[in-house]
Structure 1
Amino acid sequence: MATPAKELVPLLDKDGVRLTVEDALATVTLTNPAKRNAQSPALWRALAEAGRLLPGTVRLVVLRGEGKSFSAGLDRQMFTPEGIEGEPSFIELARSGDAELDAAIAGFQEGFTWWRRSDVVSIAAVQGHAIGAGFQLALACDLRVVANDVQFAMRETSLGLVPDLTGTHPLVSLVGYGRAAEICLTGRFVGAEEAVTAGLANIAVPTADLDAATHDLATAILDAPRESVIETKALLRGAADRTYDAQRTAERAAQSRRLRDLAGLGE
């Protein structure tokens, strides 16, 4: 008889976000499929809290959304005069002072910044709609596995806003300025095939295979020694900001650390 899978007790389960951890693998799940995982300030705070709660044993984080859509973007109630209960409306935010408004947006961004930290690798498993804030959340991760029905779109500019949840930097890095500008300024949908071709996604699979493909990618990454993954990720993340010669120097320094560690001579 097969051993039943053990049920994981969430470290966090609130405001549309659930965090579970099993050994070196953490899973962050958006848990409001009835609203297509629409996002709110409470959800962003919960995402930031999930990052703070990650145990030091975690090497890889999978981000996923329940239901047919990964995340359809901002909760439209945020655009109404009354906003979301317990949260300042956009109108109230606009009336605040410069420092207060900047601090509020910086707080929103915190839920999107920790996914690329050096000691973990993050994978977004994306199906259905990933619009606006949903697109930016997927872009916050290191890697993206998408279902064939995925629909990316950056709608902020069409709504009179800008993408401000850390999505512009990775978007330009992945697809280049011209393609990024066209995607953002038109607000059009980007499907699975284009996403893979343009570099937005690493692989596209049938929707039924999304979890399995994500698991396979996670397993392959976890098979590599942790310190070599951390060093390699740091080299790749910093490459765009270094000259060719500076990158060569960084490679030599990283390899020296790895060789000494493997030889038992590390600090």
Structure 2
Amino acid sequence: MASPDKDLVPVLDKDGVRLTVDDAIATVTLTNPAKRNAQSPALWRALTEAGRQLPGSVRVVVLRAEGKSFSAGLDRQAFTPEGFDGEPSFIDLARGSDAELDATIAEYQEAFTWWRRSDIVSVAAVQGHAIGAGFQLALACDLRVVADDVQFAMRETSLGLVPDLTGTHPLVGLVGYARALEICVTGRFVTAEEAVNTGLANVAVPAGELDDTVRDLTSAVLAAPRDAVIETKALLRGAQDRTYEDQRGAERQAQARRLRDLAGAGD
């Protein structure tokens, strides 16, 4: 895929991740198409750093990837006895204490958590394979626009592991427990049609229209007042954990804040 942010000066460009900012829109691009944007701890740290470097002006973050595949998942080197240079191997992690193992995985997860912050709306543009960690990275975003050639798969369980990069919560929320379990334990591919039909993706388009569709969606998000978007996102994000009555109260409180803010703006 062509890079729509190629003319912008990168805020960050390291370890397979490039961050560019154009006023209210930030674009995070996976930049290692030769390896199908396979992931590593270094890439995860770069993603975490990208989140920390977002200017306050940013309202929408687009996540995209160069090449034919969004991300083929964890780099196979992780499964060798040596692992990655300078990183603990899986064997090293297994031999560490419970606290060390938990802290290491928590550090990896940080790359996947910031996309759902209330002050931004994140949009994943996904083409080709999005497998394992790639699937979970797409799930980390608020919205997903997919190319008609997309193939999602959660392969961790097939390898004797579990999805541990924050993907299980959004997956269950989007497609339900039974389908999420079936997707994870079989490791099968989920196509664009199924992704849209189950709510996993917002829309599927021909691969050549992916960037334009994301651009249109981004423009529509930016058309609404920022504070109203922030309040609405927080309401919807918290709805699953609230009772119906608690959600009613949260709506009243949020609307009171918006009315007071609007009334103040008119003074």
- Whole-angstrom distance in 2 between the partners of 1:187 and 1:70: 17
Residue type of the alignment partner of 1:153:
A
Matching of residue 241 in structure 1 with residue 216 in structure 2? no
- Whole-angstrom distance in 2 between the partners of 1:89 and 1:251: 47
Equivalent positions of 1:170-249 (< 5 A) are 170-249=170-249
TM-score, with structure 1 as normaliser: 0.97
Equivalent positions of 1:122-141 (< 5 A) are 122-141=122-141
Matching of residue 55 in structure 1 with residue 55 in structure 2? yes
Equivalent positions of 1:105-124 (< 5 A) are 105-124=105-124
Q: Secondary structure at the match of 1:263?
A: helix
The 1:197/1:35 distance shift into structure 2, 3 A limit, reads same
Residue type of the alignment partner of 2:73:
G
What is the match of residue 94 of structure 2? Answer: 94
Q: Secondary structure at the match of 1:252?
A: helix
- Whole-angstrom distance in 2 between the partners of 1:141 and 1:50: 14
Percent of aligned pairs sharing the same letter: 81
- Whole-angstrom distance in 1 between the partners of 2:132 and 2:97: 26
- Whole-angstrom distance in 1 between the partners of 2:177 and 2:227: 33
What is the match of residue 20 of structure 1? Answer: 20
Displacement of 1:109 after TM fit? 0.2
- Whole-angstrom distance in 2 between the partners of 1:177 and 1:188: 16
Q: Secondary structure at the match of 1:264?
A: helix
Displacement of 1:7 after TM fit? 2.3
Q: Secondary structure at the match of 1:158?
A: helix
- Whole-angstrom distance in 2 between the partners of 1:14 and 1:245: 47
What is the match of residue 32 of structure 1? Answer: 32
Equivalent positions of 1:160-175 (< 5 A) are 160-175=160-175
Matching of residue 260 in structure 1 with residue 266 in structure 2? no
Displacement of 1:6 after TM fit? 8.7
- Whole-angstrom distance in 2 between the partners of 1:16 and 1:207: 22
Displacement of 1:265 after TM fit? 6.7
- Whole-angstrom distance in 2 between the partners of 1:156 and 1:54: 31
1:114-143 deviation line (CA, Å, top 9, x unaligned): 000110000000000000000000000000
TM-score, with structure 2 as normaliser: 0.97
The 1:169/1:6 distance shift into structure 2, 3 A limit, reads closer
- The 4+ residue runs of structure 1 with deviation greater than 6 A are none
- Whole-angstrom distance in 2 between the partners of 1:98 and 1:264: 52
1:14-52 deviation line (CA, Å, top 9, x unaligned): 000000000000000000000000000000000000000
Output the aligned Cα RMSD.
1.2
1:54-74 deviation line (CA, Å, top 9, x unaligned): 000100000001000000000
Structure 2 stretches lacking a partner, 5+ long: none
Residue type of the alignment partner of 2:263:
A
- Whole-angstrom distance in 2 between the partners of 1:187 and 1:65: 22
- Whole-angstrom distance in 2 between the partners of 1:7 and 1:98: 46
Q: Secondary structure at the match of 1:10?
A: coil
Q: Secondary structure at the match of 2:190?
A: coil
- Whole-angstrom distance in 2 between the partners of 1:129 and 1:65: 11
What is the match of residue 9 of structure 1? Answer: 9
Matching of residue 156 in structure 1 with residue 131 in structure 2? no
Residue type of the alignment partner of 1:73:
G
Aligned length: 262
- Whole-angstrom distance in 2 between the partners of 1:14 and 1:251: 42
Residue type of the alignment partner of 1:240:
Q
The 1:31/1:6 distance shift into structure 2, 3 A limit, reads closer
